[in-house]
Amino acid sequence: MQVSGTTKILGIIGNPVGHSLSPIMHNAAIAAMGLNYIYVPFPVEIQELATAIKGLEAIASVSGFNLTIPHKQEIMPLLNEITDVARAVGAVNTVKRGDRGWIGTNTDVHGFLVPLQVMERDWQHLPAIILGSGGAAKAAVAGCFELGCPVVHVIGRDELKLKEFHLTMTRQLRVHGLRVHTWSQLDNLLPLAGLVINTTPIGMGTDSSSPVNSQQLGLMPKGAIAYDLIYTPRPTKFLQLAQALGLTPLDGLTMLLHQGAIALEFWTGHPAPISVMAEALGL
């Protein structure tokens, strides 16, 4: 890749961001598309987000960026326009520079759904459990209702935050089946769930712990899916435990691929080379 005086800059803003495979995936795609772009990591602390966005705004060659943990909700008041899908979900993971400033959207819901939609399941009869109540959890809630799950249980650690989550998501998505609980309720919910999704950072990078233990996973019905949105390491402890118990494990790499493909199309206006991106991720 040749960086020149007219190269446009894309990137990912997060903390931590060192584990992210987005730069490898996007730079492979950019090279295959023959575009004069580069995609770089931007490590930004939560309290520095507004300063970072102001700085990026002043650099005319910055065309857009992704957001990851912990910025997907905090970015929203800093944007000039938000797409309907991001407004409904209440989280933004992709931003591009428009004529009148930053435009934010959400490509996580699409990415989250792709690997589930190819699985043969009677979703209308399968309650889902989502561990965590941050930005990715919001995309997962929207995705589970889109699949047809009748009830979606969200597990969090802060009762006040959970109440707010329930209120806003029920209103934004216009759904009736959303329930929120603290972690102490998890064991009562697992025996009926067809799908448990980890949207917390527990087990990411060098953290070798799991958000649920083997005994808890053992409560789930046969054939249930354990979906970890984390993709580094592969597999996470959570998915190792799930596999050992005969559950269906699914990691976050396919989600990363498909949310990234839609993001690249949003920035460049060109179709993304999905097979090149998959190969760069080792899929």
Is 163 an interacting residue with respect to ligand NAP (CB under 6 A)?
Answer: no
Is 256 an interacting residue with respect to ligand NAP (CB under 6 A)?
Answer: yes
Task: Provide, rounded to whole angstroms, the least separation between the CB of residue 117 and ligand NAP.
Answer: 16
Task: Provide, rounded to whole angstroms, the least separation between the CB of residue 242 and ligand NAP.
Answer: 16
Is 264 an interacting residue with respect to ligand NAP (CB under 6 A)?
Answer: no
Which residues in the chain belong to E strands, given as ranges?
8-14, 37-43, 62-67, 81-82, 94-98, 101-105, 128-131, 152-156, 178-182, 195-198, 225-228, 248-250
Main-chain dihedrals φ then ψ at residue 34, nearest 5 degrees: 70, 30
Our answer to whether residue 138 is catalytic in this structure is no
Q: Which of 72, 96, 138, 237 is catalytic?
A: 72
DSSP secondary structure letter of residue 221: P
Q: Looking at 29-37, 56-64, 171-179, 195-203, which segment touches ligand NAP (CB under 6 A)? A: 195-203
Q: Looking at 185-193, 201-209, 219-227, 272-280, which segment touches ligand NAP (CB under 6 A)? A: 201-209
Beta carbons of 67 and 14 less than 8 angstroms apart: yes
Task: Provide, rounded to whole angstroms, the least separation between the CB of residue 69 and ligand NAP.
Answer: 4
Task: Provide, rounded to whole angstroms, the least separation between the CB of residue 29 and ligand NAP.
Answer: 15
Cα 263 to Cα 244: distance, rounded to the nearest angstrom: 35
Q: Looking at 33-41, 98-106, 226-234, 263-271, which segment touches ligand NAP (CB under 6 A)? A: 226-234
- Between helix 108-117 and helix 253-268 the angle, nearest 10°, is 130
CA angle in degrees (0–180, nearest 5) for 166-169-173: 140
Beta carbons of 38 and 59 less than 8 angstroms apart: no
Beta carbons of 19 and 205 less than 8 angstroms apart: yes
Is 136 an interacting residue with respect to ligand NAP (CB under 6 A)?
Answer: yes
The footprint of ligand NAP on residues 54-113 (CB under 6 A) is: 68-70, 72, 108, 111
Task: Provide, rounded to whole angstroms, the least separation between the CB of residue 92 and ligand NAP.
Answer: 10
Do you find a cis peptide bond into 70, omega within 30 degrees of 0?
yes
Binding site for ligand NAP (CB under 6 A): 68-70, 72, 108, 111, 132-137, 156-158, 161, 199-202, 204, 229-231, 252, 255-256, 259
> Which residues carry out catalysis?
72
